[in-house]
Structure 1
Amino acid sequence: MEKLKAMPVIIGGMVFDIHATTSIPSTFKTTTPGKIEFMLGGVARNIAECLLKLGTKSFLISALGCDLAGDLLLEQWKSAGLLTEGIQRGLDITTASVCNMFDVNGDLTAGVASVETIERYVTPKWIQQFKTIVYPAPLMLVDANLSPEALEASCKLATNLDVPVWFEPVSVAKSKRVSTVAKYITFASPNEHELFSMANSLSHENRFSPIRRDQDKMNASIESLFKELKPAIIVLLEKGIKFVLVTLGPDGALLCSGIGPSGLKMCLAGTQVFDGNRELFDMVSVRCPTNQYLCPKPYKTSSQLFVMHFPALPATVGRVSGAGDCLVGGILASLCSGLNVMQSVAVGVAAAKAAIEVETNVPYKYDLSAVADDTGRVYNAARVLFHKSML
């Protein structure tokens, strides 16, 4: 393989998605009128596509079958000008697929995933072939569709090469795979349910369960919501994960660090600006002053919990299926362009808003000016929610 420019490495699923949306409220144990759509998906693939549309090319490591679904996924990848060397193909491989069901409001109600191909073929041996690509990378993202063995091999490879690792939990069931790799992870991006699942797995207990949302809690403040999430967040941080981004849907996101605000500044310290989008960097930098959220009173102890809340933006919901992936993709693209973590999370929230308003997993195109404007709104509405010693 010829020498390539440094770029983020994404390892995980390329998936053929089947989306079924009801046009009236569904009835138990019978069919419901609606529409069925086919689209290109997979957590890793969606994130990589979002990165590309925000101006950053990535190197994707995955597997596809020599079937119709695999041909469609690969053709789109080639037409976008992205490298395909990391995508394994074979006659004995069946392309991963997922069937998602949505209600009349576009919210996911159920889904079935058949992604064993990712576990079976994206092996430690396959990943190790791309060590020379990982070596100069600004970061590596792994999604939890990988087998535990492949997850551990990926994280060890990145850590040995001093490359930060982002862990994307994918689902409640697969988020438990964090248990053997937590010590290697720089970033993790669970939603509320995945957060509790990860905390239970890491603590080897079953003490955390999803928050029951009665009418009072539906209208609860972000402070009271954080109070219920805090014990699980601390488990992840104490097990070695440096930054936990808890995605909360319409309540926005919580960026949590166990090493205080100075740790946010030092994220990716020592790396250069990689093949990211200079236009995105310039537009966001003007709207989001870098020193706006630096805390003036650092603690003497390094064990401190620092939490920032980034609010969601109002959006007309088309479908929510790709919003979380685009939030992560927006953050990664921003980090690679040279923006700091807090600016990057604001970009991620803006990128997620654009994804919510369309019916595809990733918007066909991002308007960078609109993304930057939305980023400024999120960044200027963000606030420090908590900053105290964890001891």
Structure 2
Amino acid sequence: MSDITIIGGITADIEGNPYGQLARGESNPGKISIAYGGVGRNITENLARLGADVAFVSAAGNDFVGRAAVQELKQLGVNIEKVSLLDDENTAMYLSILNIVGDMELALCNMDVLERISIDFIHDAMKVLKASKIVGIDANLTEEVQDFITRKLHDAGIPVFLDPVSAPKAERAKKMIGRFHTIKPNRGEAEILSGLSILNEEQLRGAGRWFSQQGVKRIFITLGSGGVYYKEGEREGIIRPQAVHLVSATGAGDAFSAAIMDAHVKQMDIEETARYGMAAAAVAMEAKTAVNPKMCLESIDEKLRKGIFNLSLLNNNVLIE
């Protein structure tokens, strides 16, 4: 059994960039790229690269994309015992065609396989989940499945972590928010989950207090370039980044989520955890891919040694960035 178990999806992101103006009904020359994605998969890969003892629960098609994605995680040391490759499904894919200026012209997504992560599917993995020190889920899972997971694990005393993924997806977790031990919404997702406006630091503190009153033990609300607000019990604050080398912000949130769960297993305090998460996000932003292949404890330690963050006192008159 593993210290950390992640439940989520595997996707393949396929992107086409034409060399010239798109011609409808024609074969357009251009550059095509493919990369593995999925919030759950990305968090799992980050954890593996940090040396965590991690298992992944997911479903994908028994096709070359699904098999290759699972094999890569296995090679990184992930326990893939509860990843099912299904003969009658395709691996989840997102296909986008951009135009000459880089804007999306057309997209097609096939996420049907993620619906196969059902209550029965989770029930089959429950022994693995209940043996974990923390279980992470992303809000791509249906509300019914999230309700089942959080109810069973809350009753068993197993901490559950939530990555809300997006504001629309956050709605799925709203009714069961008090069963989560740790959450990591951004400001918009936190507004959806709490029903509160968060326009300044006074309201940010109010949202943190509301989540705490619902039963959430650890709260991390990410603020984009403004850093992260954290709260556990009476301890709260904001950690703001100094200059960060930005190649792509894609995947920074997934790296932060991974670091939070790794920190839980390592029994870091709330401020240490927030700094650890920010450092992981900073490493993630130095690569074009969703997961930086250079993600490791040494890279995070280097960021922490450089002191690239400021601890900010809450000021009720400062607007959130």
Q: TM-score range by the shorter chain?
A: 0.7 to 0.9
Alpha-carbon RMSD: 3.4
**Aligned-pair CA distance for 1:64:** 0.3
User: Which residue of 163, 182, 202 corresponds with 1:227?
Assistant: 202
Q: Structure 1 pair 157/386, CA: closer, same or farther in 2 (3 Å)?
A: farther
> Which residue is 1:270 aligned to?
none
CA distance in 1, matches of 2:19, 2:268: 42
1:239, distance to aligned residue in structure 2 (A) = 2.9
Structure 2 residue aligned with 1:168, among 140, 146, 163? 163
Number of residues of Structure 1 aligned to a counterpart in Structure 2: 312
Partners of 1:318 and 1:107 lie apart in 2 by 18
Once the two structures are superposed, what CA deviation does each residue of 1:355-376 show, in whole Å capped at 9, x if it has no partner? 1110111111235334113124
Establish whether residue 129 from structure 1 lines up as the match of residue 124 from structure 2. yes
Alpha-carbon distance change, 111 to 195 in structure 1, aligned in 2, over 3 angstroms: farther
Question: What does 1:107-126 correspond to in 2, within 5 Å?
Answer: 114-118=110-114, 120-126=115-121
Q: Indicate the residue corresponding to 2:44 in structure 1.
A: 48
User: In 2 relative to 1, CA 130–260 (structure 1 residues): closer, same or farther, beyond 3 Å?
Assistant: same
**TM-score (normalizing by structure 2):** 0.84
Deviation, 1:176, is 0.5
* Partner secondary structure for residue 287 of structure 2: coil
* Offset at residue 67 of structure 1 (A): 2.0
Structure (1 or 2) with the greater strand fraction: 2
CA-CA distance at 1:162 after TM superposition: 0.9
In the TM superposition, 1:371-390 aligns within 5 A as 371-377=300-306, 381-385=310-314
1:260 and 2:270 aligned: no
Distance, in Å, in 1 between the alignment partners of 2:72 and 2:116 is 21
Instruction: Please state whether the residue corresponding to 2:3 is helix, strand or coil.
Output: coil
Percent of matched pairs sharing the same residue: 24
CA distance 1:316–1:377, change in 2 (3 Å): closer
Q: How do 1:1-391 and structure 2 match up within 5 A?
A: 4=1, 6-19=2-15, 36-99=32-95, 114-118=110-114, 120-200=115-195, 208=197, 225-257=200-232, 259-261=233-235, 307-377=236-306, 381-385=310-314
Cα pair distance change 1:332/1:21, threshold 3 Å: farther
Contact 1:145 1:174 in 2 (8 A): yes
Query: Retained in 2: the 8 A contact 1:48–1:57?
Result: no
**Which 5+ residue runs of structure 1 have no aligned equivalent?**
201-206, 212-224, 262-306
* Cα offsets for 1:103-122 (capped at 9, x unmatched): 99x999x987543422x211
Distance 1:335 1:239, change over 3 A: closer
SS in 2 for 1:174: helix
| Secondary structure, counterpart of 2:80 in structure 1 | coil
**Partners of 2:49 and 2:247 in 1: CA distance:** 19
TM-score by length of 1: 0.70
1:34 is displaced (CA, Å) by 8.0
Unmatched segments (≥5 aa) in structure 2: 23-27, 317-321
- One-letter amino acid of the counterpart of residue 192, structure 1: R
**Equivalent residue of 1:71, what SS?**
helix
| CA shift in 2, pair 1:113/1:250, >3 Å | farther
